[in-house]
Structure formats: C-alpha cells, structure tokens
C-alpha cells in the first residue's frame, strides 16, 4: 500500500526505516516527521502524533499542522525545534495504555515550558461488540475530518487530562479510594508552577472528591512543601557529587578518570568537527586514554584518515556496538567552540598525557594495581568482533 504525502509517495513499509536505530548521522531526537510542511500552516497550533501514517492521513484531511516523532518519545531537542514555529501544542497519541504513558511523559517534558499544551483524546471504536483502540489515522478514516475538527476544538489542556487520568484510577464512591485520590492529586497539583492554576484545579479536585476546598488546599500545600524539600535535597546531592552528571548512562562505559575522559571526549569531538586539526602524527597512544571506548574510537578515526576516508562518526559504526555508538553520538553533539580550536586540542592532549603519566606512576608504585590493569586489558572492552 502506498499513500501520497506532499510531493512524494510513502510506502506503508517505510516507517520501519524511519524508526531505525539512532546514529550520529541520523539523530531521531532532533527530527519531526512532517515539520517541513507543518511549519507553513496557518492554523494556530501544531498537532503532535505518534505514527508517520497518522501524519499522512491528517495532512490529506486538511490538518497540515500535524507532525510525528520518529519512533521515539518526545525529546527536549524536538520541543526546541517546535518552539520556532508555534506556542501551542496539541498531543494526539494513541488511546491505548502506551499512548497514555507517552502523553504523560510529553506533559512532563513540557511542564514549565513556554508552550500552551492541550490533549486530544481519541475515543475507542466499537468493533464486533468490543471497544478497540484507534489512532488518528483510524479516526479520520472511520469518523471523518469534521469529527476530528470537533475533537481538536474541544481538546482539553494538559492539567485536565492528567487530573482525569488520576480520577479514573479510583472508585470515588469509596472513602478509602477518595483518600488515596486526594493524596495523588495533591502531588500532581503541587507541581503546577502557577499559584492561580493550583487554586483553580484544587477547587475542581475537591468537587471530584466531594470534600471541601479548604481540606484539599491543605493537602496541596503539604504536597507543595514536600516537593520543595525534595528538590532541595536533590540539588544538594548534585552539588556534592558533580562528577555523576558527567558519566555515561551505560554503566559498562562509566569513566574511571573524569578529568581525562572529558579531555578525551573533547579531543574526539574536535577531530570529527574539523578534520584539518589532525596533527601529522598521532599525538597519543590508545593505551594513554583512561576510557577504553574513547581510546578505541581515537584509533579508528586515525585509521580512517590514513586510509583516505572522510573522518566522521559513521566510520566507527562498523567496529562499535549500538550502545557504544549511542555514547559517541552524545559526545559529538555536545557544544564545542571552533574558536581557538588548535589551542583547545593541545590542551586536551596535554591533560590526557598528564593523567596517563599519573596512572603509570601509580601502577609502578602498586604491583597489585598494575596486575589489575593488565587483567582488564586481557579481558577486553566489548565491541563488535571481527575475524
């Protein structure tokens, strides 16, 4: 099956390619399907969907303001991209549990953002006596564009959606359930940045729970104080351990020497950004890197240059695992000023050499440490194996 989209044809098998793994060349976190058309819309908002075919169907039905993430949950990078073209987002995810979870995650990312956020909840469809889920593509096909327009006009804001989801979890005819509902909803309302919003929705939550607004206000105030206290404790932990923020997400890739690893990251980043920065000879050996992965990436880049290939992160993909490539991609996407790049490169090399010399001195003084390092070298560091 094929459907027309803009000036091209989209095969229904195509999403499997658009939803391929994240790579340094193809960064899904920074891409929104259909944005090239949606950014030209005259509508006041942008509709954010899950599926690529949803976008095709919506555009064909006249909703030229629809976009979709490329097989990923909404990312901060995508919200920054959207902020160039609109200040109002409408979340229109599938009406199954996965869609509700995706909506909640998107609302968390968009909380305290510059966007006005609404949620369009698609109703379930009755098929053979059972209600089944449907996405925007299904709804347009079975209900039509006018019905979708009515849903779009009546879409609720993000707070109302979340309150409705919380209320749906409890049988509010039960006193015990009402108490549990008040505890959960007060935590939700305490996270609202505006005191006016907290007041409006606190009164609404009190009506739902059939308690007095005063009692609900007390619960929200307590939850608000707990949230502030927790945030302070979290910030304090970050201040006491700033190095934790610099570590890779994958535990197997964690750095033993943050100072050296950050310099190693910068070194790789500069060489990939500007191939002219490569010195005539390799300034470092792989074993001087504190991170085995970064050292291996450095060697692979040099091999590519000597072979006459263009030095890009893509040349690493043949030798590294997807997890390792994901980390290298994140390293390459960090900011690096091109100004004074030669001096920065020299500084990075100097730091790696200094830290390598320190480790060599420590191992010479500690035979057990030297034996441990030798064992780690024999054990290897993973990656793809080649015969």
pLDDT at 16: 45
d(CA 319, CA 383): 6
**Which fold is adopted by the domain 257-378?**
DNAb Helicase; Chain A (1.10.860)
**Residue pLDDT, tens place only, 337-350:** 777 888 999 999 99
**Residue pLDDT, tens place only, 234-259:** 777 655 554 555 667 666 777 888 88
Q: Is the pLDDT of residue 366 over 80?
A: no
Q: Is the pLDDT of residue 156 over 50?
A: yes
CATH number belonging to the domain at 2-159, selected among 3.40.50.300, 3.40.50.150, 1.10.10.10, 3.40.1360.10: 3.40.1360.10
Mean pLDDT of the chain: 82
User: What residue segments make up the domains of the chain, in order of their start?
Assistant: 2-159, 168-240, 257-378
Confidence bin at 314 (pLDDT 50/70/90): confident
- Stretch 147-165: mean pLDDT: 90
- Stretch 192-218: mean pLDDT: 94
Confidence bin at 387 (pLDDT 50/70/90): very low
Q: Is the pLDDT of residue 329 over 60?
A: yes
Contact 95, 136 (CB under 8 A): no
- Stretch 27-41: mean pLDDT: 84
Reduce the secondary structure of the chain to three states and give it as a string: CEEEECCEEEECCCHHHHCCCCCCCCCHHHCEECHHHHCCCCCCCEEEECCHHHHHHHHHCCCCCEEEECCCCCCHHHHHHHCCCCCEEEEECCCCHHHHHHHHHHHHHHCCCCCEEEECCCCCEEECCEEECCCHHHHHHHHCHHHHHHHHHCCEEHHHHHHHHHHCCCCCCCHHHHHHHHHHHHHHHHCCCCHHHHHHHHHHHHHHHCCCHHHHHHHHHHHHHHHHHHHHHHHHHHHHCHHHHHCCCCHHHCCCCHHHHHHHHHHHHHHHHCHHHCCCCCCCCHHHCCCHHHHHHHHHHHHHHHCCCCCCHHHHCCCCCHHHHHHHHHHHCCCCCCCCHHHHHHHHHHHHHHHHHHHHHHHHHCHHHHHHHHHHHHHCCCCCCCC
Percent above pLDDT 70 for the chain: 81
Residue of higher predicted confidence among 3 and 172: 172
Q: Is the pLDDT of residue 270 over 60?
A: yes
Residue of higher predicted confidence among 181 and 251: 181
Q: Is the pLDDT of residue 100 over 60?
A: yes
Residue of higher predicted confidence among 152 and 375: 152
pLDDT at 249: 66
pLDDT at 176: 95
Question: To which residue do tokens 């049988």 refer?
Answer: 171
Residue of higher predicted confidence among 337 and 110: 110
* Fold equal for 2-159 and 257-378: no
Q: Is the pLDDT of residue 161 over 70?
A: yes
Model pTM score: 0.53
pLDDT at 222: 94
pLDDT at 15: 46
- The least confident of 40-49, 123-132, 175-184 is 123-132
Confidence bin at 8 (pLDDT 50/70/90): very low
Confidence bin at 41 (pLDDT 50/70/90): very high
Confidence bin at 373 (pLDDT 50/70/90): low
pLDDT at 386: 44
pLDDT at 286: 93
């Amino acid at each position: 099956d094929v459907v027309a989209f803009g000036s091209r044809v989209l095969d229904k098998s195509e999403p499997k390619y658009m939803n391929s793994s994240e790579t340094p060349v193809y960064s899904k976190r920074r891409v929104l399907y259909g944005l090239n058309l949606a950014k030209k819309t005259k509508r006041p908002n942008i509709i954010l969907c899950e599926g690529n075919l949803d976008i095709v169907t919506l555009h064909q039905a006249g909703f030229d303001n629809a976009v979709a993430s490329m097989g990923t949950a909404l990312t901060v990078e995508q919200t920054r991209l959207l902020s160039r073209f609109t200040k109002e987002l409408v979340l229109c995810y599938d009406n199954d549990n996965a869609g509700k979870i995706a909506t909640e995650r998107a609302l968390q990312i968009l909380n305290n953002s510059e966007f006005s956020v609404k949620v369009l909840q698609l109703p379930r469809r009755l098929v053979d006596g059972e209600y089944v889920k449907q996405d925007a593509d299904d709804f347009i096909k079975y209900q039509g564009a006018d019905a979708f327009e009515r849903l779009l006009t009546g879409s609720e804001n993000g707070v109302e959606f979340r309150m409705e989801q919380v209320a749906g979890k409890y049988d509010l005819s039960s006193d015990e359930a009402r108490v549990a509902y008040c505890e959960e909803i007060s935590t939700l309302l305490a996270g609202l940045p505006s005191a006016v919003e907290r007041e409006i929705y606190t009164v609404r939550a009190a009506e739902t729970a059939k308690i007095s607004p005063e009692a609900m206000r007390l619960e929200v105030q307590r939850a608000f104080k707990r949230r502030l206290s927790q945030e302070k404790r979290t910030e304090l932990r970050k201040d006491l351990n700033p190095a934790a923020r610099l570590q890779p997400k994958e535990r197997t890739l964690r750095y033993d020497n943050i100072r050296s690893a950050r310099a190693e990251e910068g070194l790789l980043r500069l060489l990939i950004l500007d191939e002219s920065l490569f010195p005539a000879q390799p300034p470092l050996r792989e074993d001087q890197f504190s991170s085995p992965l970064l050292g291996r990436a450095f060697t692979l880049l040099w091999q590519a240059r000597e072979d006459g290939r263009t030095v890009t992160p893509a040349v690493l993909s043949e030798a590294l695992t997807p997890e390792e490539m994901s980390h290298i991609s994140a390293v390459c996407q960090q900011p690096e000023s091109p100004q004074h790049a030669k001096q920065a490169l020299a500084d990075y090399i100097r730091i790696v050499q200094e830290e390598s010399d320190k480790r060599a001195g420590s191992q010479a003084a500690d035979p057990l440490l030297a034996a441990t390092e030798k064992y780690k070298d024999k054990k290897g560091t993973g990656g793809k194996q080649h015969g």
